[in-house]
């Protein structure tokens, strides 16, 4: 079953400029700040610990930038045949994601964190893993 979600600008909380902010409690997704009409940044720390736990993938109508901050995070991407491909994030090697995706922390829930930068306004399509097939 497909779900469509639209994120409208501004889609981020206020942050005091020129000053540290946080800390942030462990959460799967925490939007931190942004620039209205342009971008927003957040922390991604999956609550899943294996690819076998992923039942749904999401795809935005724009790319997302992932950069590993701490621990281990593995992205799970649709392979186009209804299966999954795993991409472990590596220190200093960001990944630009355009396709259907999810993720997990192989050392347990919320043990890894990635910085994500995406547009401030976009549409997201959610589908079960096996529904992401290339026609």
Within a domain: 22:
no
In sign, the C-alpha dihedral spanning 11, 13, 14, 19 is negative
Residue 1, pLDDT score: 81
Q: Which two tokens stand for residue 50?
A: 């294996």
Within a domain: 134:
no
Residue 135, pLDDT score: 59
Reply yes or no: is the peptide bond before residue 23 cis, omega within 30 of 0.
yes
Domains held by the chain: number = 1
Kindly report the pTM of this predicted structure.
Answer: 0.93
Q: What is the CATH number of the domain that holds 39?
A: 2.60.120.10
* pLDDT band (50, 70, 90) for residue 125: very high
CB atoms within 10 A of CB 78: 22
Within a domain: 100:
yes
Euclidean distance between the first and final Cα of the chain, in Å?
17
The candidate with the shortest Cα–Cα distance to 6, out of 57, 61, 77, is 61
For residue 121, what are the domain limits? Answer: 3-13+29-128
Taking the C-alpha atoms of residue 73 and residue 67, their distance in angstroms, rounded to an integer, is: 10
Within a domain: 63:
yes
**Which is higher by pLDDT, 75 or 130?**
75
Within a domain: 18:
no
């Amino acid at each position: 079953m497909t779900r469509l979600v639209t994120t409208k600008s501004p889609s981020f909380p206020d942050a005091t400029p020129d000053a540290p902010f946080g800390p942030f409690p462990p959460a799967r997704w925490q939007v931190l700040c942004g620039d209205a009409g342009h971008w927003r940044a957040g922390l991604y720390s999956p609550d899943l610990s294996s690819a076998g736990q992923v039942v749904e993938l999401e795809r935005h109508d724009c790319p997302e930038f992932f950069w590993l901050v701490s621990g281990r995070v593995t992205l799970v991407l649709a392979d186009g045949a209804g299966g999954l491909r795993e991409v472990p994030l590596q220190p200093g090697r960001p990944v630009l994601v355009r396709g259907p995706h999810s993720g997990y922390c192989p050392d347990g829930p919320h043990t890894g964190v990635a910085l994500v930068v995406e547009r401030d306004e976009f549409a997201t399509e959610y589908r079960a893993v096996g529904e992401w097939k290339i026609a």
